[in-house]
């Protein structure tokens, strides 16, 4: 049998397999055919075996069985160009897995270790450092001569070790971890000071309408917010810890999977944030180039690629980072996703002062600037746009424009530089209907025709933002210094960058959530924007670092306009389980009481993730040198051990007296959840 005949038989056989042949598109997938051959696909091999001609050529009989000569068959397909009248691939460009385009499956994902886990993220310092004490038995030679046998207790620090809760294996732990929490230390801040929180304001639909600042783990705070704000947040802006391989890394955890940990950390929080967004809500994440691509794929997976609004580059460091190994990094990015892109909208950016000055003319309608009616650039010559090349007639004595030749009127053509004939921007019909928006002026070249470009007070935001106002040093770091709040916070964003982001992505009545609040730039920008446009935006900040009390809250309080007596914000904290334990330690009157108490506390407060606690409990506190320390120093060491615990109190358990939550804090917690 000739090769041509074998080809015809193979084509007819393979067309019976709809996995390989698309009848409508008349396309055959050679890559998927080879994939099925390599898998020894029974259905395919059976089709080929049923043909006597193919069985005799591409199968070998071994006793009572036939063995498919797969390599020989694949070589025949390639060598003789079976189906060479059709493309092996669909007439599209995109990612392909050998069977179909990945995007057609709608399941593009990024996989990484611990993706199926929940990461609590108990970092309490910006450096991610925990403090503990170790007993050092080593002595120097000089100390040995003095008869010393051991040194004192050394204060040590180490990166925090995080617990990953598997979503299936640790479901009970996760349910408890994410259950609604109790809140304590409620305060209302005004421009003039701090007041007791008496009530929580709500709108006519029962939605909380207050500015809120919450101290505590942001994952747990997000899940506590869900009860009241699910589907109610209009904009989430976050500036999460960046993850560069340098000293600028603000995401520092003690594990061997730094990149995976970062992705898990972001995934857990963004998924909760998405539930909080309204149907027309938007999420905006600031990020640098180190995690940009991975963050983009992760957010594509969570929100859907079709809901990606855009990626914007911002020049935040005009001078560039001098410590960059290659390119001097001068910009960052923010990526924007809609919960439903069909319902989302964005606003124009305000014009800058220098842009407003360009509109130096004014009539009874508005301010305007003059733009030549003559077209320039591509498609600006009569051979390209013949219908737009015609004379305009102008009478300077009576300031009249006509498209018809009249006595006393000057003929004006769209003549460009070097006497090159151009065309007009507008058609004859549009000119006739818009005579009030056209002006003729005498120039060095003669009479020229202009169009009134009326002021719009806004411009469509571009994907590249630059300008002095976005400089993070001038309007971030130095701004904090000016407010006397510098010293412990790294890399604040420019106030004006966040203002412009809020201008574009929020409306006057939006609720704005930032669960990586940092120094409080989002709240500061929200308040300033409200003062400028009489808006009523509300902010919700979440921050777990201790600088929330020394930087974030004071900054927000300073940001309240002195003329505005109505703006306030409520501060409260997630109730930690160990608050009562601290009180009990401080109340101990002897080392024996401390030892007895600490044994029970270690069991009750779940400190077993840190092996040094056992060393401290079973060895250090039994040494004579420790016993000789002052009681206050001993208490301080006990407290340092206990501070490693970051468990929080469930709302359902807050009445238990062992937690020491006051009745007033319980009342306000119930009020927050709408139960009182």
Model confidence at 350: pLDDT above 90? no
Closest CA to 470 of 369, 605, 334: 334
Q: Are 81 and 37 in contact (CB under 8 A)?
A: no
The verdict on residue 115 lying in a domain is no
The verdict on residue 140 lying in a domain is no
Q: What is the pLDDT of residue 146?
A: 58
What is the average pLDDT score of the chain?
A: 83
The verdict on residue 143 lying in a domain is no
Do residues 40 and 84 share a domain?
Answer: yes
Q: How far apart are CA 493 and CA 212, in angstroms?
A: 20
Do residues 203 and 332 share a domain?
Answer: yes
Do residues 300 and 210 share a domain?
Answer: yes
Q: How far apart are CA 391 and CA 405, in angstroms?
A: 9
Do residues 80 and 32 share a domain?
Answer: yes
Closest CA to 607 of 163, 129, 155, 175: 163
Q: What is the pLDDT of residue 548?
A: 92
Q: How far apart are CA 518 and CA 543, in angstroms?
A: 6
Do residues 522 and 632 share a domain?
Answer: no
Model confidence at 656: pLDDT above 80? yes
DSSP letters of 429-444?
A: HHHHHTGGGEEEEEET
H-run or E-run covering 320: none
The two tokens of residue 319 are 């001078």
Q: Which of 512, 540, 574 is the last residue of a domain?
A: 574
The verdict on residue 221 lying in a domain is yes
Q: Tell me the pLDDT tens digit for each residue of 404-442.
A: 999 999 999 999 888 889 999 999 999 999 998 999 999
Residue 315, number of CB atoms within 10 A of its CB: 18
Burial of residue 676 (number of CB atoms within 10 Å: 0-12, 13-18, 19+):
exposed
For the chain, the helix, strand and coil percentages under 3-state DSSP, each to the nearest 5:
35, 20, 40
Q: Are 294 and 260 in contact (CB under 8 A)?
A: no
Report the Cα–Cα distance between both ends of the chain, in Å, rounded.
Answer: 89
Report the CATH number at residue 526: 3.40.50.150
Do residues 384 and 445 share a domain?
Answer: yes
Q: Which of 519, 548, 574 is the last residue of a domain?
A: 574
Total residues belonging to the chain: 676
Do residues 422 and 514 share a domain?
Answer: no
The verdict on residue 134 lying in a domain is no
Q: How far apart are CA 194 and CA 186, in angstroms?
A: 10
Q: Tell me the pLDDT tens digit for each residue of 79-114.
A: 766 654 444 444 445 555 555 555 555 455 677 777
Q: How far apart are CA 213 and CA 517, in angstroms?
A: 9
The verdict on residue 673 lying in a domain is no
Do residues 211 and 310 share a domain?
Answer: yes
Q: How far apart are CA 612 and CA 641, in angstroms?
A: 9
Do residues 218 and 324 share a domain?
Answer: yes
**Count of domains observed in the chain:** 4
> Could you give the 3-state DSSP secondary structure of residue 363?
coil
User: pTM value?
Assistant: 0.70
Q: What is the pLDDT of residue 640?
A: 72
Model confidence at 53: pLDDT above 80? yes
Q: What is the pLDDT of residue 394?
A: 96
Name the DSSP class of 551.
Answer: I
Mean pLDDT of 329-357: 90
Count CA within 13 A, CB hemisphere, residue 214. Answer: 27
The two tokens of residue 613 are 């606690």
Model confidence at 251: pLDDT above 60? no
What's the Cα-to-Cα distance from 137 to each of 148, 151, 615, 631, rounded to whole Å?
A: 10, 6, 13, 22
Q: How far apart are CA 37 and CA 53, in angstroms?
A: 19
Do residues 468 and 566 share a domain?
Answer: yes
Q: How far apart are CA 153 and CA 333, in angstroms?
A: 46
Do residues 293 and 382 share a domain?
Answer: no
Q: How far apart are CA 569 and CA 5, in angstroms?
A: 83
Phi-psi region of 423 (alpha: psi -120 to 50; beta: other; left: phi over 0): beta
Q: What is the pLDDT of residue 25?
A: 60
Model confidence at 545: pLDDT above 90? no
Q: What is the pLDDT of residue 306?
A: 92
Closest CA to 416 of 465, 377, 461, 365: 377
Count CA within 13 A, CB hemisphere, residue 336. Answer: 22
Q: Name the band, by pLDDT with cuts 50, 70 and 90, for residue 579.
A: low
Q: Name the band, by pLDDT with cuts 50, 70 and 90, for residue 24.
A: low
> Could you give the 3-state DSSP secondary structure of residue 138?
coil
Range list of H helices, 451-566: 472, 478-482, 495-505, 521-533, 547, 553-559
- For residue 35, the enclosing domain spans 3-105
Q: Which of 455, 490, 516 is the last residue of a domain?
A: 455
The verdict on residue 112 lying in a domain is no
Model confidence at 386: pLDDT above 80? yes
The verdict on residue 364 lying in a domain is yes
Q: What is the pLDDT of residue 163?
A: 64
The two tokens of residue 517 are 């609040």
Do residues 325 and 204 share a domain?
Answer: yes
> Could you give the 3-state DSSP secondary structure of residue 375?
coil
Q: Which of residues 25 and 353 earns the better pLDDT score?
A: 353
CA angle 646, 514, 284 (to 5 degrees): 130
Mean pLDDT of 641-664: 81
């Amino acid at each position: 049998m000739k090769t041509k005949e074998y080809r015809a038989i193979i084509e007819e056989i393979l067309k019976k397999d709809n996995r390989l042949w698309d009848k409508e598109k008349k396309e055959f997938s050679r890559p998927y055919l080879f994939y099925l051959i390599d898998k020894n696909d029974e259905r395919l091999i059976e089709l080929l075996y049923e043909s006597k001609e193919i069985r005799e050529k591409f199968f070998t009989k071994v006793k009572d069985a036939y063995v498919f000569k797969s390599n020989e068959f694949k070589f025949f397909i390639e060598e003789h160009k079976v189906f060479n009248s059709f493309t092996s691939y669909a007439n599209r460009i995109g990612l392909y897995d050998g069977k179909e385009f990945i995007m057609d499956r709608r399941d593009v994902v990024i996989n990484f270790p611990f993706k199926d886990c929940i990461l609590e993220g108990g970092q309490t310092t910006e450096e991610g450092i925990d403090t503990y004490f170790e007993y050092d038995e080593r002595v120097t030679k000089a100390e040995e001569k003095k008869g010393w046998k051991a040194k004192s207790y050394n204060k040590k620090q180490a990166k925090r070790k995080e617990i990953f809760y598997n979503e299936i294996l640790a479901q009970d732990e996760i349910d408890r971890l994410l259950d609604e929490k109790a809140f304590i230390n409620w305060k209302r801040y005004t421009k003039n000071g701090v007041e007791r929180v008496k009530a929580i304001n709500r709108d006519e639909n029962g939605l909380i309408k207050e500015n809120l600042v919450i101290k505590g783990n942001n994952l747990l705070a997000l899940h506590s917010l869900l009860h009241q704000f699910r589907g109610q947040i209009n904009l989430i802006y976050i500036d999460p810890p960046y993850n560069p391989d340098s000293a600028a890394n603000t995401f520092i955890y003690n594990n061997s999977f730094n990149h995976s940990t970062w992705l898990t950390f972001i995934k857990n929080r963004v998924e909760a944030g998405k539930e909080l967004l309204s149907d027309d809500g938007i999420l905006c994440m600031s990020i640098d180039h180190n995690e940009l691509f991975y963050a983009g794929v992760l957010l594509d997976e969570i929100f859907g690629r079709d809901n990606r609004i855009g990626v914007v580059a911002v020049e935040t460091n005009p001078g560039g980072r001098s410590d960059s190994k290659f390119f001097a990094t001068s910009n960052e990015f923010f990526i924007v996703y809609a919960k439903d892109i069909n319902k989302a909208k964005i606003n124009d950016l305000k014009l800058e002062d220098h842009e407003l000055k360009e509109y130096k003319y004014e009539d009874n309608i508005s301010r305007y600037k003059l733009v030549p009616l003559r077209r320039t650039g591509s498609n600006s010559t009569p051979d390209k746009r013949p219908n737009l090349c015609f004379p305009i007639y102008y009478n300077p004595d009576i300031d009249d424009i006509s498209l018809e030749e009249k006595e006393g009127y000057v003929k004006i053509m769209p003549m460009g530089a070097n006497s090159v004939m151009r065309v007009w921007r507008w058609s004859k019909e549009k000119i006739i209907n818009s005579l009030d928006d056209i002006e003729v002026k005498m120039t060095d070249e003669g009479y020229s025709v202009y169009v009134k470009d009326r002021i719009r007070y806004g411009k469509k935001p571009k994907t590249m933002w630059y300008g002095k106002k976005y400089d993070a040093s001038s309007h971030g770091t130095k701004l904090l210094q000016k407010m006397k709040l510098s010293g412990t916070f790294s890399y604040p964003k420019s106030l004006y960058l966040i203002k412009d982001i809020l201008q574009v992505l929020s409306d006057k009545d939006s609720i704005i959530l930032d669960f990586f609040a940092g120094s409080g730039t989002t709240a500061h920008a929200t308040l300033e924007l409200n003062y400028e446009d009489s808006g009523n935006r509300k902010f919700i900040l979440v921050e777990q670092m201790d600088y929330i009390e020394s930087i974030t809250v004071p900054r927000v309080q300073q940001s309240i306009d002195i003329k505005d007596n109505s703006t306030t914000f409520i501060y409260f904290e997630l109730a930690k389980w160990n608050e009562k334990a601290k009180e009990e330690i401080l109340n101990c009157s002897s080392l024996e009481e401390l030892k007895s108490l600490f044994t029970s506390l270690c069991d009750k407060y779940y400190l077993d993730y840190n092996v040094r606690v056992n060393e401290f409990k079973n060895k250090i506190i039994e040494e004579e040198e420790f016993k000789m320390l002052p009681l206050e120093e001993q208490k301080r060491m006990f407290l340092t051990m206990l501070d490693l615990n970051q468990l929080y109190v469930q709302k359902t358990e807050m009445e238990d007296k062992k937690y020491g939550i006051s009745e007033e804090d319980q009342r306000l917690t119930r009020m927050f959840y709408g139960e009182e």
